[in-house]
Structure 1
Amino acid sequence: MRQRRWIEQLKDYDLTISYHPGKANKVADALSRKSGKKTTLASLSARPCLQETVKLNQDRNPEPTKLKGQVESGKSQDLQIDDKRVLWMKGRLCVPDSGNFRQEILSEAHKSKFSFHPGSTKNVQRS
């Protein structure tokens, strides 16, 4: 279950994990030895890509741009704009209907090796 939680946390990030065969992996040997100096042997960089992609689609689509204007003028109570200028409705990300972007998100969520269905009873309990 711990692995599933980590997978759930990391699925929205664009990661690359590289394998180095035994003899070529000098970093592993260096990690097993003590040293008086602090040295950075490797670094990991991850960035969320779904929210950035949604923001780009919101900026390109006229409907979310119009809704952002309503929020800024105080005409909409259900919508919010966060500090990165991303549009949210009642705490949920607003995904614009542009091209097949929604379909890509749904297929990623359903066809991914990391997705699972908790069962009908859990879904009923959550709602």
Structure 2
Amino acid sequence: MYYHSRSTELGSQIIGFNFEIRYKPGRENRVADALSRREGDGTFNQMVSSPVWIQGAKLIKEAREDMEVQKLNHNSGTNRSCYLGFTIKQGVLYYKDRLVIARHSKFIPELLHEFHTTASGRHSGYYRTSRHLASNLY
């Protein structure tokens, strides 16, 4: 039970990131764990399931169109010393690895509902739900 809830929580933290998983042979990958090693010339197949917020692309689009977020995006790219903690990954603005969304986003009620009612939210109270949301979004 703990493993499932922990993996769901970790899955919710990587929503919005684009990434690619590449295989490295054991000698090239010195920190490989037992699950990533393979013997012989066989193929390695794995199925991964994780929660995906369907509205994620719309949330990023809204943030890109918001004037306040655009200003932060521009300023953090040109004057990094005044905007510590802000980074731009694949054209999307993050603050301390949390997605920056519009201050008055129309998706905030949906996000609160999702972070409260999903398996990773576990119907936590107001404080835990808001903290969980804040650990992913800024």
Q: TM-score, normalised by structure 1?
A: 0.53
TM-align CA RMSD: 3.9
1:35 equivalent in structure 2: none
Structure 2 Cα separation of the partners of residues 51 and 62 of structure 1: 19
Question: How far off its partner does 1:65 sit?
Answer: 0.5
2:23 equivalent in structure 1: none
Deviations 1:97-124 (A, max 9, x none): 3442122111110122331349x8xx8x
The size of the alignment, in residue pairs, is 99
2:78 equivalent in structure 1: 73
Equivalent of 1:104, from 110, 113, 123?
110
Provide closer, same or farther for how the CA distance between residues 109 and 45 of structure 1 changes in structure 2, counting only shifts above 3 A. closer
Q: Is the 8 A contact 1:79 1:87 kept in 2?
A: no
Question: How far off its partner does 1:63 sit?
Answer: 1.0
Note the residue ranges of structure 1 that are not aligned, 5 or more in a row.
14-37
Q: Does 1:114 align with 2:120?
A: yes
Return the letter of the residue paired with 2:62: N
Identical counterparts, % of pairs = 18
Q: TM-score, normalised by structure 2?
A: 0.50
Provide closer, same or farther for how the CA distance between residues 59 and 5 of structure 1 changes in structure 2, counting only shifts above 3 A. same
Structure 1 Cα separation of the partners of residues 9 and 65 of structure 2: 29
What pairs up with 1:78-93 in 2 under 5 angstroms?
78-93=84-99
Provide closer, same or farther for how the CA distance between residues 41 and 85 of structure 1 changes in structure 2, counting only shifts above 3 A. closer
